[in-house]
Amino acid sequence: KEKTLALIKPDGVSGNYTDGIKRMILESGFRILRETIVQLDEDKAANFYAEHSSRTFFSSLIKYMTSGPVLVMVLEKENAIADWRGLIGPTDARKAKITHPHSVRAMCGLDSEKNCVHGSDSALSAQREMSFFFKEMPSD
Ligand code: ATP
Protein backbone atom coordinates (compact mmCIF):
# COMPACT_ATOMS: atom_id res chain seq x y z
CA LYS A 1 0.00 0.00 0.00
CA GLU A 2 1.03 3.59 -0.59
CA LYS A 3 2.52 5.81 2.11
CA THR A 4 2.49 9.57 2.46
CA LEU A 5 3.67 12.20 4.90
CA ALA A 6 1.09 14.19 6.84
CA LEU A 7 2.13 17.14 8.98
CA ILE A 8 -0.02 19.11 11.41
CA LYS A 9 1.42 22.63 11.36
CA PRO A 10 1.95 24.77 14.51
CA ASP A 11 -1.52 26.38 14.33
CA GLY A 12 -3.13 22.93 14.14
CA VAL A 13 -1.19 21.67 17.17
CA SER A 14 -1.64 24.80 19.32
CA GLY A 15 -5.30 25.07 18.36
CA ASN A 16 -5.90 21.55 19.68
CA TYR A 17 -7.00 20.13 16.33
CA THR A 18 -4.75 17.08 16.56
CA ASP A 19 -7.39 14.66 17.83
CA GLY A 20 -10.02 15.87 15.36
CA ILE A 21 -7.60 15.58 12.44
CA LYS A 22 -6.53 12.08 13.50
CA ARG A 23 -10.18 11.06 13.70
CA MET A 24 -10.71 12.26 10.12
CA ILE A 25 -7.58 10.36 9.04
CA LEU A 26 -8.72 7.08 10.61
CA GLU A 27 -12.33 7.45 9.44
CA SER A 28 -11.01 7.89 5.90
CA GLY A 29 -9.31 4.49 6.05
CA PHE A 30 -5.67 5.48 6.62
CA ARG A 31 -3.38 3.67 9.02
CA ILE A 32 -0.98 5.83 11.02
CA LEU A 33 2.36 4.01 10.79
CA ARG A 34 4.63 6.56 12.44
CA GLU A 35 4.09 9.63 14.54
CA THR A 36 6.43 12.18 16.10
CA ILE A 37 6.29 15.70 17.50
CA VAL A 38 9.07 18.01 16.30
CA GLN A 39 10.00 21.62 16.92
CA LEU A 40 11.49 22.76 13.59
CA ASP A 41 14.35 25.25 13.63
CA GLU A 42 14.88 27.72 10.78
CA ASP A 43 17.35 25.50 8.94
CA LYS A 44 15.13 22.47 9.06
CA ALA A 45 12.00 24.39 8.01
CA ALA A 46 13.88 26.06 5.14
CA ASN A 47 15.20 22.70 4.02
CA PHE A 48 11.72 21.14 4.17
CA TYR A 49 10.25 23.98 2.05
CA ALA A 50 13.38 24.51 -0.10
CA GLU A 51 11.30 24.44 -3.29
CA HIS A 52 9.61 27.68 -2.15
CA SER A 53 12.84 29.53 -1.22
CA SER A 54 12.41 32.16 -3.94
CA ARG A 55 8.75 32.91 -3.16
CA THR A 56 7.78 36.23 -1.57
CA PHE A 57 6.06 34.42 1.30
CA PHE A 58 9.09 32.24 2.15
CA SER A 59 10.36 34.11 5.26
CA SER A 60 6.82 34.36 6.60
CA LEU A 61 6.33 30.63 5.94
CA ILE A 62 9.52 29.77 7.86
CA LYS A 63 8.46 31.98 10.77
CA TYR A 64 5.07 30.25 10.84
CA MET A 65 6.51 26.74 10.59
CA THR A 66 8.97 27.39 13.46
CA SER A 67 6.41 29.10 15.71
CA GLY A 68 5.68 25.91 17.66
CA PRO A 69 5.82 22.13 17.48
CA VAL A 70 4.44 20.20 14.50
CA LEU A 71 3.06 16.66 14.53
CA VAL A 72 4.43 14.51 11.72
CA MET A 73 2.84 11.23 10.65
CA VAL A 74 3.33 8.55 8.01
CA LEU A 75 -0.06 7.48 6.64
CA GLU A 76 -0.75 4.32 4.68
CA LYS A 77 -3.62 3.25 2.45
CA GLU A 78 -4.22 2.59 -1.22
CA ASN A 79 -3.80 5.90 -3.10
CA ALA A 80 -2.64 7.55 0.14
CA ILE A 81 -0.86 10.51 -1.50
CA ALA A 82 -3.79 11.78 -3.58
CA ASP A 83 -6.40 10.80 -0.99
CA TRP A 84 -4.67 12.72 1.83
CA ARG A 85 -4.27 15.76 -0.47
CA GLY A 86 -7.97 15.44 -1.23
CA LEU A 87 -8.93 15.18 2.43
CA ILE A 88 -6.95 18.29 3.41
CA GLY A 89 -8.50 20.44 0.67
CA PRO A 90 -7.13 23.47 -1.21
CA THR A 91 -4.11 25.49 0.01
CA ASP A 92 -6.20 28.57 0.84
CA ALA A 93 -8.29 27.61 3.86
CA ARG A 94 -10.73 30.47 3.15
CA LYS A 95 -11.50 28.82 -0.19
CA ALA A 96 -11.61 25.39 1.43
CA LYS A 97 -14.42 26.55 3.72
CA ILE A 98 -16.51 27.34 0.64
CA THR A 99 -15.56 24.67 -1.89
CA HIS A 100 -14.54 21.77 0.42
CA PRO A 101 -16.50 22.32 3.66
CA HIS A 102 -15.71 18.81 4.98
CA SER A 103 -11.95 19.12 4.41
CA VAL A 104 -9.33 19.36 7.16
CA ARG A 105 -8.35 22.89 6.12
CA ALA A 106 -11.98 24.02 6.20
CA MET A 107 -12.12 22.78 9.79
CA CYS A 108 -8.89 24.23 11.16
CA GLY A 109 -7.19 26.50 8.61
CA LEU A 110 -7.26 30.28 8.51
CA ASP A 111 -5.92 31.49 5.13
CA SER A 112 -3.43 30.59 2.37
CA GLU A 113 -0.52 30.47 4.81
CA LYS A 114 -1.99 29.26 8.09
CA ASN A 115 -3.67 26.20 6.64
CA CYS A 116 -2.94 23.81 9.55
CA VAL A 117 -1.78 20.74 7.59
CA HIS A 118 0.61 19.55 4.90
CA GLY A 119 0.53 16.57 2.58
CA SER A 120 3.16 15.27 0.16
CA ASP A 121 2.23 16.11 -3.43
CA SER A 122 3.95 13.21 -5.25
CA ALA A 123 5.60 9.83 -4.70
CA LEU A 124 8.98 11.53 -4.92
CA SER A 125 8.20 14.17 -2.30
CA ALA A 126 6.54 11.56 -0.07
CA GLN A 127 9.76 9.54 -0.13
CA ARG A 128 11.89 12.61 0.54
CA GLU A 129 9.67 13.92 3.31
CA MET A 130 9.31 10.56 5.09
CA SER A 131 13.09 10.11 5.22
CA PHE A 132 13.42 13.76 6.25
CA PHE A 133 11.60 12.99 9.52
CA PHE A 134 11.96 9.23 10.00
CA LYS A 135 15.30 7.45 9.69
CA GLU A 136 13.88 3.96 9.50
CA MET A 137 10.84 3.33 7.33
CA PRO A 138 9.03 0.02 7.27
CA SER A 139 9.72 -1.78 3.99
CA ASP A 140 6.76 -2.35 1.67
P1 ATP B 1 1.77 22.04 1.62
O2 ATP B 1 2.98 21.93 0.73
O3 ATP B 1 2.07 22.68 2.96
O4 ATP B 1 0.98 20.78 1.72
P5 ATP B 1 0.29 23.13 -0.57
O6 ATP B 1 0.97 22.12 -1.40
O7 ATP B 1 -1.19 23.16 -0.55
O8 ATP B 1 0.76 23.06 0.93
P9 ATP B 1 2.22 25.02 -1.57
O10 ATP B 1 1.92 25.85 -2.75
O11 ATP B 1 3.17 23.87 -1.70
O12 ATP B 1 0.82 24.56 -0.95
O13 ATP B 1 2.74 26.00 -0.43
C14 ATP B 1 3.38 25.51 0.72
C15 ATP B 1 2.89 26.26 1.93
O16 ATP B 1 3.31 27.63 1.82
C17 ATP B 1 1.38 26.36 2.05
O18 ATP B 1 0.80 25.24 2.65
C19 ATP B 1 1.21 27.60 2.89
O20 ATP B 1 1.44 27.34 4.28
C21 ATP B 1 2.31 28.48 2.35
N22 ATP B 1 1.79 29.34 1.27
C23 ATP B 1 1.43 28.95 0.03
N24 ATP B 1 0.97 29.98 -0.71
C25 ATP B 1 1.04 31.07 0.10
C26 ATP B 1 0.73 32.44 -0.05
N27 ATP B 1 0.25 32.93 -1.21
N28 ATP B 1 0.93 33.26 0.99
C29 ATP B 1 1.44 32.80 2.16
N30 ATP B 1 1.76 31.51 2.37
C31 ATP B 1 1.57 30.66 1.37
Q: What ipTM goes with this model?
A: 0.93
- pTM (two decimals): 0.95
Q: Ligand 1 — pocket residues by CB below 6 A?
A: 52, 57, 61, 91, 112-113, 115, 118-119, 121
Residues 49, 52: Cα–Cα separation, whole Å? 6
| pLDDT surpassing 60 at residue 81 | yes
* Strand, helix or coil for residue 130: helix
Please give the single-letter amino acid code of residue 36.
T
Edge-to-edge order in the sheet of strand 117-119: 31-38, 70-77, 2-8, 117-119
Question: pLDDT tens digits, residue range 5-21?
Answer: 999 999 999 999 999 99
- Establish whether 118 is a catalytic residue: yes
CA of residue 64 to ligand 1 center, whole Å: 11
| pLDDT surpassing 80 at residue 123 | yes
